[in-house]
Chains A and B, each alone.
Chain A
Amino acid sequence: MPESLARAGRALLRHALVALAALAMFAVILLLAHKDPIRAYLDTFRFALGSADGLIELVVRMTPLLLTAVAVALPARLGLINVGGEGQLYMGAWLASAGAFLLPDLPARYLLPIVIVLGFLGGALWAAIPGLLRAARLVNETIATLLLNYVAPLIVSYYIFGPWRAKGSSAYPQSPLYPDAAALPPLFGTRIHAGLFIALLALLFYWVLLEKTRWGLEMRAIGGNSEAAQRLGIPVARWIVVALALGGGLAGLAGMGEAMGIHGRLRQGLSPGFGFTGFLISWLAGGRPVGILVMAFLFALLTSAGDTLQITQGLPFAVVNILLAVILFIVLARRPAAGGAR
């Protein structure tokens, strides 16, 4: 146990160093934009970490990021690259919305579980498509999941421009509000909602499934050596579909959480790229549960920095993307030296 603690400590330190290096490089960019980096960082941290509102916002952002990160990490243990978290998130939100609109009169104790299950199913079925294509050795799952990211928001758009468009409210295309029974209950009277529990449970589920069950053993065997796994009689094709579907389902839960817990209705801009950020988180964390928790926190902090910079420094929100890119480069640069950190 002390050994694993020491390992976790080292991982934490490594992540912190990456973050520091990224902040230093980003400071240069801020200087080039004639902004005071120290001031900008202080503002950001003071708001994000020093105020209740800021902290709440961090947790709110972490919730979908945890789910989309696990959505990538789980298939990755089989050697599958799921870049489709964004699309799976939208499909989860879409199917959950369908449930809410079709069964508006059910009481919350029935509707809420139904909506949650539908959120999972939406993402799972969406991810099962690339899973089946890959299992049949037809299409690489990376390509298929990536391309489906562009399809899912279009399906959502169709519904909110068409059948589900809120009548009369505004020119802004969005669905009407969900029935109250479909809303994820808020926690502590804040914007934090019950989706946080779902996200933390998903992380726990991921760890238990992979490390403690025989199914996880088979999945890890596929990731470690799929040829041997196949010869040992492990149903490789079946696990490929299942793992991608499970991952997609978790991303779908993220979409359900955003729709039912934050927006209260289906919208186009439901996700500012949570699916992609989740990919980065999972990848930087090497798929380790604690790493995912730490990285999700860090990325929530970074994206909230975007908000602060927008307000206090008059910089566009997109500068945060530069910061994310800088982090990615740093990690890519040191990875070969680490020699396969996973």
Chain B
Amino acid sequence: MADPLIEIRGLTKRYGPVLANDGIDLDLYGGEVHALLGENGAGKSTLSKLLYGFTRPDAGWIHCDGRPVAPRTPAEARALGIGMVFQNFMLIPALSVLENIALFLPDLPAVVRPRDLERRIREVGARFGLQVDPAAPVRQLSVGDRQKVEILKLLLARARVLIFDEPTKVLAPHEVTGLFEVFRALRAEGYAILFITHKLPEVMACADRITVLRQGRVAGGFDSGQADPAALVAMMFGEPLAERPAPEAGARIPGKPILELRGAAAPAAGSETALRDLDLAVAEGEIVGVAGVSGSGQKELGDLILGLRPLGAGSKRFQGEDASRWSIARMRAAGTAFVPEDPLAMAAVPGLSVRENLALGTGRRYHKGPGMDWPALESAMAGSFAAMDFPVPRLDPPIAALSGGNLQRVVLARELAHAPRLIIALYPTRGLDVRSARAVRDLLGRARAAGSGVLLISEDLDELAELSDRLLVLYAGRIAGEFARGAWQAEQVGHLMTGSEAARHA
């Protein structure tokens, strides 16, 4: 094999008492998709930050094309041909695709000739399967297309090493397939791809080589042919995961309805999806799954139930009472828990401490005169963490200092602390590593066993299949199909999700 494009030896980075990267060795060759695998906090992000010049290593070195390099800023890294596609895209929504790309180019002439650039965008787009309309404003693009623009930016800026930080997290299943085709096209042209993820099937689907990180160190590596999921999991966690008991099958007797939507509708503003004619019920001890590609109205549905979005038509009942006009506070006080898709933006206040964040949204439970009964709150929350087998985090630091997985745990512990009657969970395992994701799924299963009703909104069909007693398919703000447990096939659901099959109720 030729010399590696990037050679990393002994890279070490310490954050206070934590060794985030501990003597990492890694080679990255042109023409390979190199997967970097590890659970939350294994050091994947730190390594990519070191490569991309966000932070500097405490020890170790990086060679690029055989020359020692030490990028101090992302601009320096880009000058070396290293580019990064972030989870949160760095695009300006009001500008067009072409303008966004032009802004990024280092060699942009004073007078931009849009036609030249447009030609290059189309050319590169066609070569790698990254077709996007250069004139379209970015705000009109789907998440998948925005990601294409990010990749185009890097390619036109002559990056040869592309770092993808959990690129599939925001994508719908068919978009993931598209991304992997892009990977293959890039690989064929000699680009090096560092693919950061913790989803095993994706690694198996597209990686040439796999490096597994655990607790800041390289735990091992595989070539694509040798790896099997069990071995990878064992390497990620350092121990084989216990076999999961098979999900309980068999017909359940649904309890009394907790949530009922009848003919519910909500108008849309801007890029939102209008909800139309929704009939939906969640009963005690039942998990109702909602499948759909992103942007089908999932977020709007959650907000409608929570009470953030007023009903345009129809009715909402909660435990038999008309809740159509209830405030969010009342819905929550009545026993609604909300686990949002983006906890930092939707369920936490970054500047407040973990303790204060745990207190928010608990209604009147811990009021004590003009203040809060902090000891009572803390012991209740400690109990909630313990019930979920989560470690109790430190309570004083601002919640923004937590990693994504730990943040999600704090939100879950808070939301599930008071035996909620109804749990609205939007993509609750998105961004979690395999083990945390399983803990969350077990949690939802236990909530069901305890008599809660769960509305599980997800785009992970395996997750939905495992947990759902009934499955609804949401498409363009309507319910396109409804299935009982075990009565659906992935292909059929997939067609309904993409609108390629007319609604058919099973």
Chain A contact residues, CB within 8 Å of chain B: 212-215, 217-218, 220-221, 223-225, 227-235
A sample of 21 inter-chain contacts (CB < 8 A) reads: A212-B370, A214-B370, A215-B370, A217-B352, A217-B356, A217-B359, A217-B360, A221-B352, A225-B350, A227-B345, A228-B348, A229-B349, A230-B308, A230-B328, A231-B338, A231-B340, A231-B346, A232-B360, A233-B328, A234-B329, A234-B361
Tell me whether B370 and A234 are in contact (CB under 8 A).
no
Tell me whether A229 and B360 are in contact (CB under 8 A).
yes
Cα distance, A233 to B361, chains bound together (Å) = 6
SS class, residues of chain A in contact with chain B: helix
Tell me whether A228 and B349 are in contact (CB under 8 A).
yes
Interface string of B301-332 (1 = CB under 8 A from A): 00000101000000000000000000111111
A181 to chain B, nearest CB (A): 33
Which among B331, B348, B363 is the interface contact of A225 at CB below 8 angstroms?
A: B348
Closest to A231 in B: B346
Tell me whether B346 and A220 are in contact (CB under 8 A).
no
Name the 5 nearest CB pairs between A and B, nearest first.
A232-B361, A233-B329, A224-B349, A224-B351, A233-B328
Closest to B360 in A: A232
Residues of B within 8 A of A218 (CB): 360
Cα distance, A228 to B352, chains bound together (Å) = 12
Tell me whether A224 and B328 are in contact (CB under 8 A).
no
A213 to chain B, nearest CB (A): 5
Residues of A within 8 A of B225 (CB): none
Which among A215, A217, A223, A233 is the interface contact of B363 at CB below 8 angstroms?
A: A233
Which among A215, A228, A233 is the interface contact of B346 at CB below 8 angstroms?
A: A228
Residues of B within 8 A of A223 (CB): 351
Known: A214-B367, A233-B328. A225 touches B306 (CB 8 A): no
Closest to A222 in B: B349
Residues of B within 8 A of A212 (CB): 370-371
Question: Is B450's CB within 8 Å of the partner chain A?
Answer: no
Tell me whether A235 and B329 are in contact (CB under 8 A).
yes
Which among A215, A217, A224, A231 is the interface contact of B350 at CB below 8 angstroms?
A: A224
Residues of B within 8 A of A220 (CB): 349, 351-352, 356
Question: Is B372's CB within 8 Å of the partner chain A?
Answer: yes
Residues of B within 8 A of A215 (CB): 370
Closest to B362 in A: A232
A70 to chain B, nearest CB (A): 19
Cα distance, A231 to B340, chains bound together (Å) = 9
Cα distance, A213 to B366, chains bound together (Å) = 12
Tell me whether B328 and A221 are in contact (CB under 8 A).
no
B267 to chain A, nearest CB (A): 16
B13 to chain A, nearest CB (A): 21
Tell me whether B347 and A231 are in contact (CB under 8 A).
yes
